Chain A
């Protein structure tokens, strides 16, 4: 017997199929520049998803995530441009620095909550930025590290695009599994009431460390993908604005969902590239979007759409049954 699939699931499946179809066909449909932007948006989306794993599912907003992805990117960059090591060593060191940073930061932040968590992560991200501009022997200071080539098999832009697409979709699926798992459910419990979770016997401090490291792992992947996309890494990738952008993307798309941050990232990349043609006051615009979204649209695009959808469904079910 075939299980009946709800209308909502069907719509979502069709949308997912269309999205994936466009994603696969993109290099044939768009010029090089646009494909580069899509790669950027996909990586930004993964980064925003890692922020949302903390912000949306556990209720811990982080303003230092770019510190972790930046640590990974600098790990890759250092091995590539200062040591001249091969790709396996570059990626291994990148993963190591990213995961080490998230372990260290997680240990620092795991006992805090709410506003304290925001302040601590902000300070952590700023400290990585401080190192990136001062520790010039390792990071190249303001100039950053340049000349980081892509691995040969994925060197042309369209091949690298496919690599990004595959990695991001895999991470997305992994995140989906994590969120749906019992562990994911306990994270939502943590968001609703940490005291109750502790009373139920959960070690909430350890849980926060685990989820911080998981989020850090996905940020690490995003950081490594980004450094090979750009071919360089500089302090501008680890500034507070980079971390804040991840939060903004997550809220704009819809916090507490995985598709929301991805949509948010595409919107932000689009705005950035369209607006920069006319004005160069991007930070002002970003700040304004922040203020407007926080004041009027805290549930984001996905939240707004699902509100409209639910209201329509209610109206349908309230219609007189005699019509059938």
Chain B
């Protein structure tokens, strides 16, 4: 008896959930229309092969951005430090890679040397430069921008102003062919690297003690410190790891984007766009962000080369108006 009665009863919570589910589906359906139109328009502009090439171009550029943005977002999430020197770390890392390849001939050694050197630079930045102004958000940002000017100018003094590519290992040269479709091997390698790194970072974040400390630190620093975790060491470790990734990105990215003075700020702009769109302090947000920014950039460059930076502007503006914390960011 009671069972039947309960079934017939009106459950407001259930109705509410169903309504909001229906509403969300409707919003999703509506917002997918402009995307469908956009993709249709793009396909009228280029062949299907070119379309797939552009997607891979976008993903490989996004892959480089992922190494930068994940470190950037980790540092911000833990310490609330906006490290604008990340672009400078990338550029100097790339140049150190060139020097190492020229001296030893090994691309892999170059990645290691660059990433470790930039990690030490990160240690210096965090311990010596940022420690005295810990917690003062704006001075911290300004200091890191000052540091970027110094790094960029010293790189210009040491390595000169000519564009430089990093020599790649020979088995990564050339194109991979699948039927009629050919695509540079190296770019596919970069995408694979980023996917592996993404999985690795997720594993660290979710499954290891380190990840648990970082997640706890993001949520409540004081509480973690009170529980006996040396939070300062965690901070320094995270900063060094972020710098390590930036140096890594410098070599990986420098091998197909070529290194140029001024690229420190250019790559920084893209990394900022990633975290503004994806949401600051979130690894998933960074993943989503690099795919979006990478694709927008590659299709923008192909279709409207004159507006190549401007194409980032509209999505950023829309997201800031509708969802200021970014797609997957948390409201602070």
Please give the residue numbers on chain A whose beta carbons come within 8 Å of chain B beta carbons, in ascending order: 59, 61, 63, 104, 107-109, 111-112, 114-116, 118-120, 122-124, 126-127, 129-131, 134-137, 239-241, 244, 247, 251, 281-284, 286-291, 294-295, 298
Contacts and interface: CB of A to CB of B under 8 A. Distances in A.
A287 B142 CA distance: 10
Given A108-B316, A111-B324, A114-B137, A247 B150 contact: no
A134 B305 contact: yes
15 contacts: A108-B317, A115-B141, A116-B276, A118-B138, A119-B275, A119-B276, A120-B316, A123-B316, A126-B266, A126-B309, A134-B305, A241-B149, A251-B142, A291-B143, A294-B139
Given A284-B150, A287-B146, A136 B138 contact: no
A298 B139 contact: yes
Contacts of B157: 281, 284
Contacts, number: 130
Contacts of B276: 116, 119-120, 123
Interface range on chain B (Cβ under 8 Å from partner): 35 or more
Given A61-B142, A290-B146, A291-B129, 12 more contacts: A108-B316, A112-B320, A120-B316, A130-B310, A131-B307, A134-B305, A135-B307, A239-B265, A286-B146, A290-B142, A294-B143, A295-B133
B143 A290 contact: yes
A265 to B, nearest CB: 17
B321 A115 contact: no
Contacts of A59: 138
A119 B140 CA distance: 13
A131 B309 contact: yes
B82 A118 contact: yes
B313 interface: yes
**Residue in A107, A118, A123, A137 with the greatest tally of chain B CB atoms within 10 Å:** A123
B180 interface: no
A290 B137 contact: no
B150 A288 contact: yes
B306 interface: yes
B191 interface: no
B152 A283 contact: yes
Interface string B124-140: 00000100110001110
A290 B317 CA distance: 30
Given A108-B321, A115-B137, A281-B157, A63 B132 contact: no
Nearest to B80: A115
A287 B153 contact: yes
Contact of B145 (A107, A115, A290): A290
**Which 10 residue pairs of A and B lie closest in terms of their CB atoms, listed nearest first?**
A130-B309, A290-B146, A287-B149, A287-B150, A283-B153, A126-B269, A284-B153, A287-B146, A291-B146, A111-B324
Given A120-B320, A134-B306, A134-B309, A126 B143 contact: no
Interface string B66-98: 000000000010001010100000000000000
Contacts of A114: 137-138
B138 A115 contact: yes
Contact of B153 (A126, A281, A290): A281
A288 B151 CA distance: 10
B272 A122 contact: yes
A115 B317 CA distance: 17
B310 A131 contact: yes
Contacts of A124: 313
Contacts of B310: 127, 130-131, 134-135
B252 interface: no
A291 B138 CA distance: 13
Contact of A127 (B129, B151, B309): B309
A6 to B, nearest CB: 32
B128 to A, nearest CB: 10
B272 A123 contact: yes
Nearest to A141: B306
Contacts of A119: 82, 272, 275-276
Contacts of A104: 317
B82 A288 contact: no
A237 to B, nearest CB: 15
Interface string B243-283: 00000000000000000000001101100110110001000
Contact of B312 (A120, A127, A129, A284): A127
Given A290-B149, A291-B146, A294-B139, A240 B317 contact: no
Contacts of B272: 119, 122-123
Contacts of A126: 265-266, 269, 309
A289 B143 CA distance: 10
A291 B76 CA distance: 20
B153 A244 contact: no
B145 A116 contact: no
Interface centre among A137, A244, A289 (most CB of B within 10 A): A244
A241 B262 CA distance: 11
A127 B139 contact: no
Contacts of A287: 146-151, 153
Nearest to A60: B138
A89 B203 CA distance: 61
B308 interface: yes
Contacts of B313: 124, 127
